[in-house]
Chains A and B, each alone.
Chain A
Amino acid sequence: MEPVRLLAPDGTLTPDPRWPLDVTPQLCRDFYRRMSLARSFDNEALALQRQGELGLWLQSLGQEASQIGSITALRADDYVFPTYREHAAALCRGITPAELLVQWRGNTHSGWDPARYHFHICTLVLAAQLPHATGYAMGVQRDGSGEIVTAYFGDGSASQGEANEAFNWAAATEVPLLFFCQNNQWAISTPSRTQMRAPLHQRAAGFGLDAHLVDGNDVLAVHAVTSAVAAQIRAGGGPALIEALTYRMAGHSTSDDPGRYRTPSELDSWTTRDPIARLESLMTARGWLDDDFRAEVEAECSDLAAQTRKVCRELPLDDVSSLFGTVLAEETPLLAQERHRHEALTASFVD
């Protein structure tokens, strides 16, 4: 299967009648703006980690088209289960920089109220979120609410048993669920060719999922395919899987050194397929990217970066006593005793 592609790396647009998309200046400007903002935020978070303000950061660099093309094809009330790299998608849902950073500063294990954004907390044990999404979709199916559920995951996660259980379970129960795989080619240092022999979309079809392959660095193709597939799921067509071929242009995390396992020429080859540059080529050729708009987006990016720096340093940190209150719905006698003893011990120290 060839990946669906509407926009070539050189910016040439080739419509595909199977995946109709009204490519307007407004649509392209919206994607350009969203992808630029996501990259600006990501760069700033990286800088904050390097300055010691964040403990860890996992960059979305290079995957903006996959995330933004897909999340904007969903309804605002479609619940989403992310991994830990979906910052670009999260920004589209209105999740704030402070909410995105607080976990990585080490102040909390999650940053936002999932009910507010219909966007679940990050799942770090990879693929564990896929059965959650399947079960959530079973609930949606029972509620008959017209929502669909989307679960993001990666090529590495696809090797987990829970991923394959979820593919099978979702297909068997015909739930309204979209599995969206960002195949970014690398699971830390393990390339996808070491993870699997059969391509994921092919495996997914074997499970009985409606499976699609898309150029994940082509925001227009991702959006067109996700829109059509989401509509089909919403209409009762059953679960589907989209494999988006993209590239993790940064390391796995700020603790990683991709220079140990991949070549500069590989990175170069993907840099020429950069999702933002590609859209920019189209917009420039069509005269949709004038200086005013470009300056406006640049200013917005600078503002977002400045805001990100500011809020990061002001992120609140609760007292250690707060840890005991969220274990169960009520603090047990054991937890109360531990908290009291710790508070008393701390209070007994003389400065």
Chain B
Amino acid sequence: MPVLTLSKAINTGLRRSLEDDPKVVVMGQDVGGLGGVFRVTDGLQKDFGADRVIDTPLAEASIVGTAIGLALRGYRPVCEIQFDGFVYPAFSQIVSQLAKIRARSGGKLAVPVVIRIPVGGGIGAVEHHSESNEAYFAHTAGLRVVCCSNPHDGHWMLRRALTAADPVIFYEPKRRYWTKDEVAEGPEHVLPLDRARILRPGTDLTLLTYGGMVQTCLQAAETAAAEGHDLEVIDLRSLSPLDLATIAESVDRTGRCVVAHEAPTFGGLGAEIGTSVTESCFYHLEAPVLRVGGFNTPYPPAKYEDQYLPDLDRVLDAVDRSLAW
């Protein structure tokens, strides 16, 4: 079982997909000779050629737009958007075209495009390079929105995304790109795209999170355990559709729920999850669902991001408030 960084695990996921399906094409800015700014596509153009690993012009709307055209022609494009904050020029193509073509065509057309987006903060970057914009896409009918948090999931969720019949927004937490972990091998590890995973079973409170916050929440659970509180940590993985069955089953057991994400809380995934949990688990809840997220400000300059991003203390503060309710 190889130990890989998240970046390399996704890279090998792309490599396997390119080998498995001659219709898969990788496309984006600098994905060829450079291997992408995070090296996720490193070495692919050398081995699969410039026709299948395509360096594109610097034009996000057309990266997605031409991917749609390729998908209409029978190809399976996986596009890289270089940074989260650069996806907005492609917003119309994603929301009005990619997401809606199946419905607009009455189910006659499918556009199975995967859009990979390095997401979130924690790398000391300049503005527009640290955003968490998943709620925009989760709000849009017709897209699958997923976020991986570790090398194994990154590898296998991507491979599953590249066999899916639907468009997939595939988020990769950039502050975890260099985290190493085991990636299991074998087709039995292909992951469903719509399932959360209980990473740490617990009895006192359900801590829901995804992406770059997963490690923070696991640490919070360890700290809480030392204080005698047994937290269940769930990695949502799929942000749309949400795996409400797994979430509700957990909250029914624990009676308490905290949602933690990097994105601002207002109108974020936590708001949707909080409402859904309240509707499903009302008689089991011992406390309101609490949210921990980024502030409702634009993502700040790098010197402030340690204070902006929810850290161990802010997660534990929400946990304590819930437990004290």
Contacts and interface: CB of A to CB of B under 8 A. Distances in A.
Interface of A: 108-110, 113-115, 120-121, 123, 125, 128, 130-140, 142-143, 161-162, 165-166, 168-169, 172, 323, 325-330, 332-334
A243 to B, nearest CB: 21
A326 B59 contact: no
Contact of B104 (A110, A140, A168, A334): A110
B75 A139 contact: yes
Contact of A162 (B65, B100, B141, B165): B65
Interface of B: 51, 54, 56-57, 59, 61-62, 64-75, 77, 89, 92-93, 96-97, 100-110, 141-142, 144, 164-166, 194, 241-242, 244-245
A329 to B, nearest CB: 4
Contact of A128 (B65, B105, B108, B242): B65
B60 to A, nearest CB: 9
Contacts of A109: 100, 103-106
A171 B70 CA distance: 17
Contacts of A108: 106
B105 A135 contact: no
Contacts of A165: 57, 59, 61-62, 65
Contacts of A333: 241, 244-245
Nearest to B242: A334
Given A165-B59, A169-B62, 4 more contacts: A125-B96, A132-B68, A135-B77, A137-B69
B97 A132 contact: yes
Contacts of A110: 104-106, 108
A125 B73 contact: no
Contacts of B101: 121
Contacts of A133: 69
B110 A166 contact: no
Nearest to B241: A332
Contacts of B69: 131-139
A48 to B, nearest CB: 21
B142 A166 contact: no
Contact of A326 (B92, B93, B107, B194): B107
Contact of B102 (A130, A161, A326): A326
27 contacts: A109-B104, A110-B106, A113-B108, A121-B104, A121-B105, A128-B97, A132-B68, A135-B70, A135-B72, A135-B73, A138-B73, A139-B74, A142-B51, A161-B61, A161-B89, A162-B61, A162-B62, A162-B92, A165-B61, A169-B57, A172-B57, A326-B106, A326-B107, A328-B142, A329-B110, A333-B241, A334-B242
Given A162-B62, A165-B59, A333-B245, A138 B106 contact: no
A177 to B, nearest CB: 10
A139 B66 CA distance: 10
A265 to B, nearest CB: 38
A153 to B, nearest CB: 13
Given A326-B102, A327-B102, A332-B194, A136 B73 contact: yes
Contacts of B104: 109-110, 121
Nearest to A337: B244
Contacts of B106: 108-110, 326
B93 A131 contact: yes
A176 to B, nearest CB: 12
A140 B73 contact: yes
A121 B103 CA distance: 12
Counting chain B CB atoms within 10 Å of each CB, which of A109, A110, A140, A165 scores highest? A165
A114 B73 CA distance: 11
Contacts of B64: 131
Contacts of B56: 169
Nearest to B166: A328
Nearest to B59: A165
